[in-house]
Amino acid sequence: MPTRRDFSGPGDLRAMQAMCSRVWSPSARFHPGQLAWNRYCEPVDPTRPGPDEAIALWWADGEVVGFGWAESPDWLELQLDPTRPEPAGAVAAEVVAWFEDWSDAPRQSVHVMAGDQSEPALAEAGFRADPTSWHFTHHLLDLRELPPLRHVPGYGFRPVEKADATARAAVHRAAWADVGHSRFTAEAYVQLRQAWPYRPDLDWVAFDPTGALVASALVWLDDRTHVALVEPVGCLPQHRGRGLAGAVTVAALHRARDLGARTGLVSPRGDDDHAGPRHLYQSLGFHPVARTVTWTRSLD
C-alpha cells in the first residue's frame, strides 16, 4: 500500500516530476516543466510549501505514484500514476481525505483531467463535476510540422542571458498584468533557472530596436518523452498586434526541435472567457486533444 510523505524540498519536486515524465500522455495533467513553473513562478522557500498551500506525495516501491497539491484551501490539483490502477483508486481517496483534513474552506474544488482515475473517489466524497466551467485544454503539435521562423520588422529574437534576469521577469509581469497580479520577480526567476528541466537556450525573448525586451516564451523539454511544453508566453501590451508572441514561441520551439523534441505541448484556456492564447497556438498548428474539469463540493 502506498505511503504518504509531506513535501520537504526540491528532491520531492524532482520525484513528482519523475512520475509525470514516466506516465506522460496527451491526457496526463502535468508535464514536468509545468510543476517547475507552478513551484517557482513566485519567490518561495524551496524546502516547504507556502503558508496557504500544502503538498503531499504518495510513494510505493521507491517512486511517487500520486500527489496532491493544494494551491489554496479551496483549490486542489492532483495526479495519479495510471500504470498502477489498483493503488490509484486508494491513493485518490487518500488525497481527497488529506485535502479535507488540511483545508478549512467551506467550498472546495479539485482540478483534474476529464476521465481521470480520481473521479470515483471525488464522487464518493461528494464532489460534482462542472464541465461548463472554465478549463484548460491540452494542445499538441508534431514538431515536424512546426512553422518556419518568423520575421517581425524592427524586432529580434534570442535566448536569454544571465544579465537579463531583472528585465526578463519584468516583461513577464507586465505581459500578464491584464490577467492578474504576477509575483514573478528577479528572485523567482533565479530560483526557476535552477529547477529541472529548465534550459536557458529554451528561454527566448523578443527585443525592440533599442535592445529592450518586449516578449518572452519559455519552453521545457523532457528528454525522456521528447515533449516540449510551452509555458508561459507573454508580450508587452504596447507591442501586441505584431505577431511577436507567435514568433518568439516558434523560435523557442525550433531550438527545442534541434535538441530532440518531437512534440510541442501547450495548455491554454479552453473556454471563451480567455480565448486569445488558444487562438494563437491553433494558428501555429497546435490542436486540442484533452481537457480539464473542475469538481466542486460545499461543506456548508
pLDDT tens, position by position, 176-235: 998 888 999 999 999 999 999 999 999 999 999 999 999 999 999 999 999 999 999 999
Residues 216 and 99 in one domain: no
Residues 146 and 79 in one domain: no
Residues 51 and 26 in one domain: yes
Residues 131 and 147 in one domain: no
Which residue from 295, 225, 182, 193 is spatially nearest to 28, judged by alpha carbons? 225
Q: 289: which 3 cell numbers? A: 486533444
Residues 26 and 130 in one domain: yes
Total domains present in the chain: 2
Locate cell 518568439: which residue?
Answer: 248
| Span 106-117, average pLDDT | 96
Residue 88: the pLDDT is 76
Read off the CATH number of the domain in which 258 is found. Answer: 3.40.630.30
Residues 64 and 112 in one domain: yes
Residues 128 and 144 in one domain: no
Q: How far apart are CA 109 and CA 172, in angstroms?
A: 28
Q: Which residues of 201-222 are buried (b: 16+ CB within 10 A; e: fewer)?
A: ebbbbbbbeeeebbbbbbbbbb
Angle at 231 (CA atoms; ends 27, 38), nearest 5 degrees: 85
Domain of 97 in residue numbering reads as 3-136+293-298
Residues 115 and 236 in one domain: no
Q: List, for residues 119-139, the tens digit of each pLDDT value.
A: 999 999 999 999 999 999 999
Q: List, for residues 95-104, the tens digit of each pLDDT value.
A: 999 999 999 9
Residue 87: the pLDDT is 75
Residues 92 and 183 in one domain: no
Q: Where are the alpha helices (DSSP H) in the chain?
A: 10-22, 32-40, 85-102, 119-124, 165-175, 186-193, 244-258, 276-283
